Amino acid sequence: MRTSAIVVAGGSGTRMKSGIRKQYLSLSGRPVLSHTLQAFDACPAVDRMILVVPEGDMAFCRDSVLAPSGLQKPVRLVSGGKERQESVYNGLLAARGEADIVAIHDGVRPFVSSDQIAETVRLASETGACMLGIPASDTLKQVDGDGNVRQTLDRKTVWLAQTPQTFRYDLILTAHESARRGGYSGTDDASLAERMGVAVRVIPGSRLNIKLTTPEDLVLAEAVIGARLAF
C-alpha cells in the first residue's frame, strides 16, 4: 500500500504569541517542523510526504526547513488554507493518485514516534481509519459560560485526540468532500469520518506527543528534548 504523510503546518500560531510562526521555532537548534518531518522520514511505513504551509512561506520552508533537515524521502510543498481542515484538503488533493493510505499529522507535534506512526498505518490499512489518542487522566468538568461547573463527566470513556490520524485515501477524501458540501467544520479529520458513520480505531499515543499551542508548551518541549538527550 502506498502511504503518504500529510503534515499540516499552514497555521498562524496565534496562541503561541511568538514573533515567528510556532512551526518554525527552534527546538534544540532545529525548527519544530524539522523534528516532525524527521519522525515520518524515519518511519518505514511512510513512502513520501506532503508538507502544507502558508502560501508565502514556500521558499523559506524549502530553503530553511527542508534543505537542512537531510530528509531521505520525497517531500512536496503545498499551500495551506484559512482553516486546518482546508489545509488538510489541499494536502489530500495533492496526494491524489500517489497514496492508498494517508497519515495526517499536525506539524507542531514534533515528538510523534515512528513506531506509532507505523502502527496507525498498519491498522488503517486493515480498518480504514486509525488515530492516536491518550485516555483522559484528569477529572473532566463541563463548565458553563459563567465559569461554573455544570457537571463532572465520566472520564472512563474519554480520550484526548492526537495525530497522526491515518485513513484509506478514498475514505478520508470522501469525508472531506462531504463536509465541504455540508458546510461542516471539524477540529480534526476523524470527526469528518465519524459523521459518515466510519468506525475510527483509537490506539494509545503518548503524553509526550504534545501539540505546541501556547508558550507553556515550549517549556514542555524543551524538557522532552532534554530528557531525550539524557537517555
Applying CB under 6 A, the residues found at the interface with ligand LQXTBERG are 84, 106, 161-163, 187-188, 211, 213
Among 1, 2, 14, 226, binds ligand CTP (CB under 6 A): 14
Give me the amino acid identity at 121: V
Could you give the CA distance from residue 16 to residue 223 in angstroms, rounded to a whole number?
17
Residue closer to ligand LQXTBERG by CB (options 64, 208) is 208
Among 213, 217, 218, 225, binds ligand CTP (CB under 6 A): 213
Report the relative pairing of strands 26-27 and 30-31 from DSSP bridges. Answer: antiparallel
Which one of ligand CTP, ligand LQXTBERG, none interacts with residue 8, CB within 5 to 8 A by kind? ligand CTP
* 164 binding ligand CTP? (CB under 6 A): no
Q: Which of residues 83-142 bind ligand CTP (CB under 6 A)?
A: 83-84, 87, 106-108
Among 4, 5, 6, 9, binds ligand CTP (CB under 6 A): 9
Residue closer to ligand LQXTBERG by CB (options 41, 106) is 106
Shortest distance, CB of residue 188 to ligand LQXTBERG, whole angstroms?
4
Shortest distance, CB of residue 90 to ligand CTP, whole angstroms?
9
Could you give the CA distance from residue 31 to residue 66 in angstroms, rounded to a whole number?
10
CA within 13 Å, CB half, 110: 25
Select from 75, 27, 69 the least CA-distant residue to 51.
75
Which one of ligand LQXTBERG, ligand CTP, none interacts with residue 187, CB within 5 to 8 A by kind? ligand LQXTBERG
Please identify which residue in the block is written with the cell numbers 489518542: 133
Could you give the CA distance from residue 106 to residue 5 in angstroms, rounded to a whole number?
10
Report the relative pairing of strands 48-53 and 140-143 from DSSP bridges. Answer: unpaired
Select from 73, 99, 69, 94 the least CA-distant residue to 8.
94
